[in-house]
Structures are given as structure tokens and as C-alpha cells.
Chains A and B, each alone.
Chain A
């Protein structure tokens, strides 16, 4: 009996810190529509911290926001000079890399989150990429993951925005994340972490839906489900355009 009471008490104690602070979230929109003139988008993520008790003044609360696009396996290849020309030699398969990943923090990443918590929640960009291991014949396989991050960061597909989450009165927070124009469809998992001295004290998850709409949607579906018809349509347009230009120009010539 005594043991039971103890374990219940432990349970409450363990769950208390998590319950004490809770995230209430708002999004400027939970769907991003990709139409013909889509040229990137900005989403505003804002929220408040709900508390049962007055918050402790120290250590200060930090906020981390991550947005992650659908993950897929990718192959990273490295070029080497052989017989005087540059050819792809080594390749490393990365099991799962998000198509888009953004991390925004209220202060420096290293101050907001401890290494252990990063491993547990996969928050930072290198942790968000899952690579089981390279083939034995390839040394320093981590350079391949670094290359992936470097290339993706260049095109804004991977973003580390330190200090872009503004926190007011230890309660209200807001940030905006720029989605690039080259965006794939899917559910973009959005996570908010509240941390104190590197430990995660509360967590909240939601999804942003990125969808093609209108003509984009129609053409994409057609190309997948009625590929033959789509092919004929493409050829039809090509032939018609070719004939049209010829006809118009022969009118001009007369």
C-alpha cells in the first residue's frame, strides 16, 4: 500500500512540471495553398503560455519553433577526380531527410537546448536528418550529411533562425517563418518547445497543410492518374501551338 502511494506521488511529481506550463498556439493560417503564381509564403506562428501557478523568474523561459516538411530518403554523391575528369564516386544514402526544415529560437540554439534534449526530441537540423550509417568503404560519412545541410541551406530549404522568436513578459511569443517558392506538398509538422536552462518543460505539436490548388492540383492529379491522356494533352498543345504560330506568321507574310 505504501509503495502504491509512493508511486502515485512520484507520478504526480513527474507530471507536474509538464502540466504547469502549457502552450496555447495560433497560426496565421494552417493551410498554404500552392497556386500558379505561388512565390513562397510567410507563416506567422504566435502563442501564449498558460500557467497554473506563477512562473519562476529564473531561469528564463526560452521558445523553440520547428517546421518540418515531409521526409524522404535521399542519396548524397561526392565527386572525385579520376583520369583527369570529375566523376561521382562515393554515395551515401540518408534514410530520411525532411524536404524543408526550419528552426527558430528565442536565443542562441546552444543556450536554449541541451544536447540530451536535442537527441531526445530531434530539434536541431543535424538531428532532424536520420542517417543510419554509411557503407563500410566510406570514411568520414558525416561530411555527406554536412554537405546535404549546406546545399539545402543555400536554397533556404533548411533554416536556422537564432533569436527570431520574440518573447514578451515570459508569456507571449511570436515568430514568422519564410517558406521558399520551391515547396513540396504535404503536412508540415510544426513543434513548439518551451525550455528552461536547456530542458524542455512543455511541448506542443500541430500541422500546417501545404496543398496544390486549382489548376496546379488538377494538372498534377491528371499527370499521375491519367498519364496517357496527360501525355496526349501535352502533345496536342505542342502540335496546336506549332500550327498556330505557322498560321499566324503566314498571315503576316501576305
Chain B
């Protein structure tokens, strides 16, 4: 069934979009990532104009994250306090990110920067997470108890706060900085930032994996809602019909994903996410390294 999208001005298969939304939704619920880093390239691939894909994706992430976070609230696996601290940092970062994005856009080459960002961050995060979880799985098999709550320099900082749900007593400075950095990257790369946020929370802040997912989703809702409004009012690129098709699949997928995620071990969850992140990274790296079949590209408008 073909549907004409009023803002994107292309006609696409409705079932294809529902399916894509569903698959990305499942992953989103399982890992606490918005799924933007997967969905946005997929939308490019089926012929949605990039500007519309990025803006509409933000709106869809709001829906799937909201659906996911409700499921996590029921299990009490959302650290509201930590989420709020991260969110404050995130909004500041998003503002900064949009500013940086506009400077780079004026100099051209913004596409390249976005792609390089993806490859570098996905590669580093995916690689680190993959080896860490591999070690964790080995240790569990050998019967070693996992080391937790390592004391490092982070615990020496001032402005300490108690995050009861996470079982942490740390300074607010690291989560704020993490929030700002993720916000900047999210705005530049046009994603919610969950795939950076989740590892940062696990490895930098030392939060338990089960709490991380819900908390990350909670924060993502607000950042992407903010981004959606920015895109809708300045670029007019949010396609509501596209968003509805994606989010119907997405919210259902997120519910299923959350249930799968709860049944799995934390190490397994992390290693799967790592593999997915590495796969996307590999694909983008190939695009940069191999000679494209069409060397030319068309963009609307003049300079």
C-alpha cells in the first residue's frame, strides 16, 4: 500500500515503514537507545529527503521512548533524579550543538563531519563495550564475581548527591558533563544520543545496567521533543504522516523490546548492543572508503 507523504513529497510503502518502525522499536526498548542512529540512515536509504528524515525521526523517538519509559516506570527502573541532572546538561548541550552545527554548515562539509562523527563514536563505543562485555561473560562463566563500584577520581569531586535508584553517591558534575557532551553530539548527528548515553552511564558513572535503560529513555524524550519543535518551527521538515507510520510500529516494538530486555542478562544485552553499533559503524565506514557508484549528488537550492 503506497502512501504519499505531504512534507517529504514522496510516495512510500506503508507496510515497509510499519515494519522498520517495529524493528527499530524492539531494539529501542531492549537497549534504551532511541534508535535514531539506525532509523535515520534507513530512511535515507528508502528515499526520504535527509532533512525530513532527521526531523521526523526525532518525533518518532519521542513516541518510542515514552512507550518504553512507561514500561520501565512500572518496574521502578528509572532514576528520575539522575535523569533530570542529565537532562539539564542535555538541553544546554543541544543548544550548543545547534550553534556548532550552523557554523559548520556555513563552511560546507557538514555531511562529512556527521558521518565521521558516527564512525568514530560508534567505533570507539562499540569496540569498548564489545570487549568489556566479552570479559564480563567470561568471568561469569569462570565463576568470578563482577567488580562493581570501583573508586576512581570521579568520587573525589564536590557537590555530591545521592541517587537512590542507581545506588550511587557521586558528584553532580560528571552526569552534567556527560549530559552536555551527549546533547552536543545529539544535535550535530541528529539522534537522541542514547547509544552514547547508555555506555557513558554504565562505564563513566557506574550505574547498574537495568536502571540505565529507563533513565536514558526518560532523558531522551525531552531532548528529542525539544529537537522536534526546533525542526518543525524553523525548517518545516517534520512529516507527521511519516512519523505516525513509524511510531505505530515503533511503540509496539518498544513494548516487546522492553520485555525481551528484562529477561536477558546485562552482559548479553550489552554485547548485542555493541555488535549492532559496530555493524552500523562498519557500514558507514565502507561508504566513506569505497568508491560510490554515483559520484555526483543533487541538493535543492543554491548556496
Contacts and interface: CB of A to CB of B under 8 A. Distances in A.
On whether the two chains bind one another, the answer is yes
Interface of A: 34-40, 72-81, 84-88, 91, 93, 144, 147-148, 150-152, 181-185, 212, 215-217, 219-220, 223-224, 227-228, 230-235, 237-239, 241-246, 249-250
B244 A237 contact: yes
B169 interface: no
B70 interface: yes
Contacts of B294: 147, 150-151
Interface in B101-118: 108-109, 111-112
B247 A81 contact: no
B152 interface: no
A216 B294 CA distance: 33
Interface stretch (B5-13, B79-87, B133-141, B200-208): B5-13
A242 B288 contact: no
Interface of B: 1-4, 6-7, 9-11, 47, 59-60, 62-68, 70-71, 74, 108-109, 111-112, 225, 228-229, 231-233, 236, 238, 240-241, 243-244, 247-248, 251-252, 254-255, 287-292, 294-303
A13 B4 CA distance: 52
Given A238-B60, A238-B247, A181 B297 contact: no
A68 B261 CA distance: 53
B302 A242 contact: no
5 contacts: A37-B2, A93-B303, A228-B232, A241-B63, A241-B247
A38 B1 CA distance: 10
A181 B109 contact: no
Contacts of B229: 228, 231-232, 235
Please classify the interface of chain B as helix (H, G, I), strand (E, B), loop, or mixed, using the class held by over half of its residues: helix
Given A181-B4, A245-B254, A86 B288 contact: yes
Contacts of B296: 76-79, 144, 147-148, 150-151
Nearest to B60: A238
Nearest to A81: B291
Nearest to B61: A238
A246 B4 contact: no
Name the 8 nearest CB pairs between A and B, nearest first.
A242-B66, A231-B232, A181-B11, A147-B296, A245-B251, A238-B63, A242-B67, A246-B70
B10 A235 contact: no
Contact of A72 (B62, B244, B301, B303): B301
Given A84-B289, A86-B292, A231-B238, 5 more contacts: A38-B2, A79-B296, A235-B228, A243-B70, A246-B66
Given A88-B297, A230-B238, A216 B4 contact: yes
Contacts of A249: 71, 255
A217 B225 CA distance: 25
B4 A241 contact: no
A96 to B, nearest CB: 10
B300 A35 contact: no
B291 A86 contact: yes
A28 to B, nearest CB: 20
Contact of B301 (A35, A74, A242): A74
Given A151-B298, A227-B232, A246 B71 contact: yes
Contacts of B111: 88
A202 to B, nearest CB: 35
A88 B109 CA distance: 7
B248 A241 contact: yes
Nearest to B232: A231
Contact of A242 (B11, B65, B228, B291): B65
Nearest to A180: B11
Contacts of B70: 242-243, 246
Contact of A235 (B6, B225, B295, B297): B225
A234 B59 contact: yes
Contacts of B67: 241-243, 245-246
A242 B4 contact: no
Contact of A231 (B6, B10, B228): B228
A33 B267 CA distance: 54
A85 B66 CA distance: 39
